[in-house]
Every structure is written in C-alpha cells, then in structure tokens.
C-alpha cells in the first residue's frame, strides 16, 4: 500500500513587500504635507482674499497680525512699541505680512507706517485665493 505524501505549499510573503513600501511612502508624504499646512495656520489668522498669478516663498521674515491687532514677528509675540526696534535689528528690507481679513485698514496702515520708518522696502501681503469670479469692465 502506498501512502500519499502531501506537499506543503509555501506561502510567498514577497507579495506584501511592495504594499508595505507604498504605505510607508504615503505616510511620509502626509507627514510632510501636514507640517507645511501647520506652519501656515499657526497663529489663528484668517487671510483676506485676492487673486495671484504666481508666488514663490523664500526664507523671509513674517509678521502675523491677528483680528485684535496682536503682532507676531517670526513666531515671537511682539508689542507694537517694540516692532520698529526689532525690524531694525533684523537688518532686512523684505517682510511678509499675514493680516487677518477682518482687520480694519487703519490698524494695517499703522503697521505699514512703522515698516516704512524701519526702512522696509519690500512688503508682501499674503492672502487666500479669490473665490469670486468678478469681472470689472
């Protein structure tokens, strides 16, 4: 009498390796994308709306202005009275301003005058893209 010997079929686990690689790549991508988004939403500023063709962000000094007029220069809270001194110490002529959309123009004008007195020549005002399609003739 012959006894049949069953061959054990080896499962090939190599098919899971590309799936694991893709999952890790997605994880890294979303971790980096989350860091970029977090940097823009740090200081509870709702930007005004505008249309922009192209914007290239470089390492520039950034001034956040909240709706209540609170100032944050390069991630450090600062009073309006010390702003001019800090800007002169930075020895730069470029600055990005992220002002809250509900901030009134008189508050923004006060800050712009301080920037002018501090020899800031290039001011970039950040805003969200315009969601309205308005054509002016």
pLDDT, tens digit, for every residue of 3-46?
A: 777 666 666 666 778 888 999 999 998 888 776 655 555 566 67
Specify the long-range contacts of residues 41-46, CB closer than 8 Å, at least 24 apart.
Answer: 42/75, 43/72, 43/98, 45/98, 45/99, 45/100, 46/100, 46/101, 46/102
Query: Which residue(s) pair with 72 in the sheet?
Result: 64, 77
pLDDT value at position 27? 92
pLDDT tens figures, 46-99: 766 666 556 555 567 888 888 888 898 888 888 888 888 888 888 888 888 888
Give dist(CA 42, CA 75) in Å, integer: 9
> Structurally, what CATH architecture does the domain formed by 49-129 represent?
2-Layer Sandwich (3.30)
User: Could you tell me which residue, 111 or 137, shows the higher pLDDT?
Assistant: 111
Please give the distance of CA 135 from its chain centroid, rounded to a whole number. Answer: 29
Q: What local confidence, expressed as pLDDT, does residue 95 receive?
A: 86
pLDDT given at position 104: 82
Quick: pLDDT tens for 72-81. Answer: 888 888 888 8
Q: For the sheet containing 71-73, what is the strand order?
A: 76-78, 71-73, 62-65, 94-99, 122-125
The single-letter DSSP state of residue 84 is H
Distance CA 115, CA 120 (A): 5
Dihedral angle at the C-alpha atoms of 64, 122, 89, 97, nearest 10 degrees?
0
Residue 97 has a pLDDT of 85
Question: What confidence score (pLDDT) does residue 59 get?
Answer: 67
Q: Is the pTM of this model over 0.75?
A: no
Work out the average pLDDT over 109-125.
84
Assign 3-state DSSP to the chain and report helix, strand, coil percentages, each to 5.
Answer: 40, 20, 45
């Amino acid at each position: 009498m012959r006894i049949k010997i069953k061959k054990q079929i080896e499962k090939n686990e190599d098919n899971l390796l590309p799936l694991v690689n893709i999952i890790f790549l997605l994880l890294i991508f979303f971790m980096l994308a989350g860091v970029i988004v977090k940097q823009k939403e740090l200081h509870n500023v709702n930007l005004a709306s505008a249309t922009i063709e192209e914007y290239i962000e470089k390492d520039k000094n950034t001034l956040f202005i909240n709706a209540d007029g609170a100032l944050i220069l390069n991630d450090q809270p600062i009073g309006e009275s010390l702003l001019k001194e800090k800007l002169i110490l930075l020895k730069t002529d470029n600055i990005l301003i992220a002002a809250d959309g509900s901030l009134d123009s008189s508050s923004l004008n006060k800050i712009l005058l301080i920037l002018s007195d501090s020899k800031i020549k290039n001011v970039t005002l950040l805003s969200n893209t315009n969601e309205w399609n308005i054509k002016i003739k």
